[in-house]
Amino acid sequence: MQYILTQKEYDKLLNGIENEREKLKTIIETLCTDVTNNKPILYWGNKKPKIWECIRTNPHASYCDECSVQNVCPYKFKQYSK
């Protein structure tokens, strides 16, 4: 079955998809930040787990190197010291 859409209907459909994508991106970024700011991890040879703070919420944090969610976080301004 095929549907014929006017340009206006097509644009409305595409805008709705883009709006949903942005909402989901915001939700994922918020969840990633919450995990990073609250989940203690071992990094740089620490004996006890410590919290690696997110660069989005901590002005003194500067890298995402040891972030536990760096592979799924959609934040586009991630920094790495590599």
Q: How far is CA 28 from the centre of its chain?
A: 5
Mean pLDDT of 31-44: 93
Task: Say which DSSP state 40 is in.
Answer: E
Domain containing 27 equals: 1-82
Q: Which two tokens stand for residue 25?
A: 């991106």
Structurally, the chain folds into a number of domains equal to 1
Query: Taking the model in full, what pTM does it have?
Result: 0.77
Task: Report pLDDT digits (tens) over 41-65.
Answer: 998 888 999 999 999 998 888 788 8
Cα–Cα distance between 65 and 57 in angstroms, integer? 16
Q: Over 51-80, what HEC string results?
A: ECCCCCCCCCCCCCCCCCCCCCCCCCCCCC
Instruction: Supply the mean pLDDT for the chain.
Output: 90
Nearest-angstrom CA–CA distance, 79 and 60: 13
